[in-house]
Structure 1
Amino acid sequence: MPAAPTSLTLGSLRVDTPVVLAPMAGITNAAYRRLCLDQMRTQGASGLFVCEMITSRGLVERDDTTLKMLVFDELETVRSVQLYGTDPVYVGKAAEILCGEYGVAHIDLNFGCPVPKVTRKGGGGALPWKRGLLGQILEHAVAAATPYGVPVTMKTRKGIDDDHLTYLDAGRIAQESGCAAIALHGRTVAQSYSGQADWGAIAALVDHVDIPVLGNGDIWEAADALRMVEETGAAGVVVGRGCLGRPWLFRDLASAFAGEPTATLPTLGEVAAMMRRHAELLCEHMGEERGCKEFRKHVSWYLKGFAAGGELRRSLAMIDTLATLDRLLAELDPDEAFPLQALGSPRGRQGSPRRVALPDGWLDDADGTDVHLREDASETDGG
């Protein structure tokens, strides 16, 4: 059984701890990335914290919504952005803008999103079926980023469904195109977030390519991350839903990869303090009105398993000012112990398997290079 890696190298970029915060739409904004970064820094470590996904066309056309997403905290010295696109030229232009104008240190390309509005246009997890197109997009991105010394990686899934697997071809194409690494979510698009992630597929991809492979899927605790790299040989892990309402998971991950595994079990009072800090950061970056609205979605994740009453939860999920938040948080029992039953359990969206929405005739030609449906400049999702 191989020893767990202690760092991660992506081209010219070295990451202290082999842990990546997965880009999640509406979640991994500057405030949340800062919150997670602060937790790692308590252990004297840092990972890679990826901005929520933006569209290449939106960036190239200077779409206002897209540009507002490209905000970084003052302590983010390593800027990482995930880019979505189906047009090689637009992806290349967007990569050049990110490197030249925003000073990013890492670009990740999204080929794993399972959301129907993305896959029905041939994007996200549907795109690797078109091997030629995948190669062109990766080559344009790498060519644009290389003069700046910025590594390009890609994230994908096993395939569209069990009958249309793409991950091994995608790994080969990523390597041939000059990508610094590939991240694999061990589910198909059809699975969405249901069922269990197939870590065996991650191990198979590790054996198939020479570039680093990052494993993604079902990392709920730091021990899961260690077990994944030990079982698969992955160079690192990508953590998504497991950190929802638990930014301190990154503290545990830093300790685990440093050989000092621990499990942070905050009291409800400590959780309330984290909630307040999260809301405060959102308000700093977005203004109080929008920041409070953005915070609402996080309440149920932070309070999962705690005994806080339904009425208080509903009120917290409707806050409009920090003063209101302070008043409501004061009603929580600060001494309540962390609910152990919440450990190791899925968080966030799960859903059920479904038929994948695809463009007409998409599966007829796996070597095609055309996407006939126009990419929407304002379409965003962090798949």
Structure 2
Amino acid sequence: MTAVPASLTLGSLRVETPVVLAPMAGITNAAYRRLCAEQGAGLYVSEMITSRGLVEGDEVTKKMLTFDDLETVRSVQLYGTDPVYIGKAVEILCADHGVAHVDLNFGCPVPKVTRKGGGGALPWKRGLLGEILEHAVSAAAPYDVPVTMKTRKGLDDDHLTFLDAGRIAQETGVAAIALHGRTVVQAYSGEADWEAIGDLVRHVDIPVLGNGDIWEAADALRMVEQTGVAGVVVGRGCLGRPWLFRDLAAAFHGEDVATLPTLGEVKQMMRRHAELLSEHMGEERGCKEFRKHITWYLKGFPAGGELRHQLALVDSLTSLDTLLDGLDDTAAFPERELGTPRGRQGAPRKKVVLPDGWLDDTDGRGSHLREDADETTGG
């Protein structure tokens, strides 16, 4: 049986609990990262930003680089397809924004990203992947900032890339690699392939982080035992359940904890979340941002359709308080929801949308790819 790690080492960075919050567009902003961090130790990664946007001073990109005052370890996920832009962006993050960890996105399955050769499509070009990683690691080295990468198994079952990606990551000095146990064509459908994650662990000497189908703390421990990963990456499992990080921290330190909050306790968490969003964005925008979280927080709880509808239109903390008063504080946590998928799932894609001729070779060095992909999930 594999020993359960109590901490995670990424180069010069020590993470007290080997748990990483996955970057999720529109979710892992400064407010949500603060909310999760209040629940337990770990590493909390920002929404994905584009390297070109950062280098060229795009205002939207700069606004995404907002950190909470208590965010002592700043972690950012970066997207890009051009090695030079990636290197410059990493230097800016380290020199101007005090970032302590940079993660590179090679896992996003969204067509508007893959059609430009980015995200989960890029590891097919092994030469280009190596170039990007070399530039990133070289730019971060003077600041002693670790660079990690996240990827998927491959484009589909006939075009797997994860073992080569792990080898290239190790050769270029990447501090760790995270593997989502699905292919790009699967997107978020089906089950994650933990066996592939275990294969990668055995294939490389650098730390491997496992991602996919971690809905409860017990799932994280099971993944460690089955695959030997050095830590886990949690995405959809924490939607509407930031207290999952409390359970994860306890589990990795030998405690058996499964938080089952009453609806009254969930209401307090919802109010805290909206409050943090309002502090960072202003009350009206913060409350509008909070709307998307309502369904996740109330999943399985008794709450009438009209009340849910009104909550989905909330535009102030006062109106939120009034509506939350309409929920039954004593309602027990719906245990039938434990271990079930949360967030997006959907069906597998028919095919991966790729640039013309993308599969013709596996090198790609010197490629001139478009860098204007919109920020999306970390995959």
Does structure 1 retain, via aligned residues, the 8 Å contact 2:51–2:78? yes
Residue 43 of structure 1 corresponds to none
Percent identity between matched residues is 80
Q: Note the C-alpha offset of 1:370.
A: 4.0
Q: Deviations over 1:5-62 (max 9, x none)?
A: 000000000000000000000000000000000011xxxxx10000010000000011
Q: What secondary structure, in the 3-state scheme, does the structure 1 residue paired with 2:148 have?
A: strand
Distance 1:169 1:138 in 2: 13
Does structure 2 retain, via aligned residues, the 8 Å contact 1:65–1:378? no
Does structure 2 retain, via aligned residues, the 8 Å contact 1:25–1:381? yes
Residue 29 of structure 2 corresponds to 29
Does structure 2 retain, via aligned residues, the 8 Å contact 1:57–1:377? no
Does structure 2 retain, via aligned residues, the 8 Å contact 1:121–1:371? no
Q: What secondary structure, in the 3-state scheme, does the structure 2 residue paired with 1:375 have?
A: coil
Q: Note the C-alpha offset of 1:381.
A: 3.8
Residue 358 of structure 2 corresponds to 362
Does structure 2 retain, via aligned residues, the 8 Å contact 1:113–1:119? yes
Distance 1:371 1:295 in 2: 40
Residue 89 of structure 2 corresponds to 94
Q: Note the C-alpha offset of 1:382.
A: 3.2
Q: Note the C-alpha offset of 1:368.
A: 1.9
Residue 375 of structure 1 corresponds to 371
Q: Note the C-alpha offset of 1:372.
A: 3.7
Q: Note the C-alpha offset of 1:371.
A: 3.6
Distance 1:346 1:309 in 2: 22
- The one-letter amino acid paired with 2:339 is G
Q: What secondary structure, in the 3-state scheme, does the structure 2 residue paired with 1:315 have?
A: helix
2:345 corresponds to which of 345, 350, 368: 350
Distance 2:284 2:373 in 1: 26
2:307 aligned with 1:312: yes
Residue 161 of structure 1 corresponds to 156
Residue 14 of structure 1 corresponds to 14
Distance 1:371 1:245 in 2: 41
Q: Note the C-alpha offset of 1:307.
A: 1.1
TM-score, normalised to structure 2, is 0.99
RMSD: 0.8
Distance 1:376 1:303 in 2: 36
2:145 aligned with 1:150: yes
Q: Note the C-alpha offset of 1:377.
A: 6.7
Q: What secondary structure, in the 3-state scheme, does the structure 2 residue paired with 1:27 have?
A: coil
Q: Note the C-alpha offset of 1:367.
A: 1.5
Gaps of 5+ in 1: 41-45
Alignment of structure 1 residues 292-303 onto 2, 5 Å: 292-303=287-298
Q: Deviations over 1:120-167 (max 9, x none)?
A: 000000000000000000000000000000000000000000000000
1:80 corresponds to which of 65, 75, 80: 75
Q: Deviations over 1:81-100 (max 9, x none)?
A: 00000000000000000000
Q: Note the C-alpha offset of 1:289.
A: 1.3
Does structure 2 retain, via aligned residues, the 8 Å contact 1:56–1:377? no
Distance 2:142 2:226 in 1: 36
1:217 corresponds to which of 200, 208, 212: 212
Residue 178 of structure 1 corresponds to 173
TM-score, normalised to structure 1, is 0.98
* Number of residue pairs the alignment of both structures matches: 378
Residue 55 of structure 1 corresponds to 50
1:272 corresponds to which of 255, 258, 267: 267
Does structure 1 retain, via aligned residues, the 8 Å contact 2:88–2:139? yes
- The one-letter amino acid paired with 1:200 is E
Does structure 2 retain, via aligned residues, the 8 Å contact 1:158–1:186? yes
- The one-letter amino acid paired with 1:364 is D
1:255 corresponds to which of 250, 258, 274: 250
- The one-letter amino acid paired with 1:23 is P
Q: Deviations over 1:280-327 (max 9, x none)?
A: 000000001110111000000000001101111111011011111000
- The one-letter amino acid paired with 2:14 is R
Distance 2:80 2:100 in 1: 19
Q: 1:298 and 1:152, CA in 2 relative to 1: closer, same or farther beyond 3 A?
A: same
- The one-letter amino acid paired with 2:257 is T
Does structure 1 retain, via aligned residues, the 8 Å contact 2:82–2:368? no
Does structure 1 retain, via aligned residues, the 8 Å contact 2:48–2:375? no
Q: What secondary structure, in the 3-state scheme, does the structure 1 residue paired with 2:248 have?
A: helix
Does structure 2 retain, via aligned residues, the 8 Å contact 1:7–1:16? yes
2:329 corresponds to which of 315, 326, 334: 334
Distance 2:238 2:377 in 1: 18
Q: What secondary structure, in the 3-state scheme, does the structure 1 residue paired with 2:145 have?
A: coil
- The one-letter amino acid paired with 1:182 is I
Q: 1:341 and 1:377, CA in 2 relative to 1: closer, same or farther beyond 3 A?
A: closer
- The one-letter amino acid paired with 1:224 is D
Q: What secondary structure, in the 3-state scheme, does the structure 1 residue paired with 2:210 have?
A: strand
Does structure 1 retain, via aligned residues, the 8 Å contact 2:24–2:378? yes
Q: 1:166 and 1:378, CA in 2 relative to 1: closer, same or farther beyond 3 A?
A: closer
- The one-letter amino acid paired with 2:364 is G
Q: What secondary structure, in the 3-state scheme, does the structure 2 residue paired with 1:292 have?
A: helix
Q: What secondary structure, in the 3-state scheme, does the structure 2 residue paired with 1:172 have?
A: helix
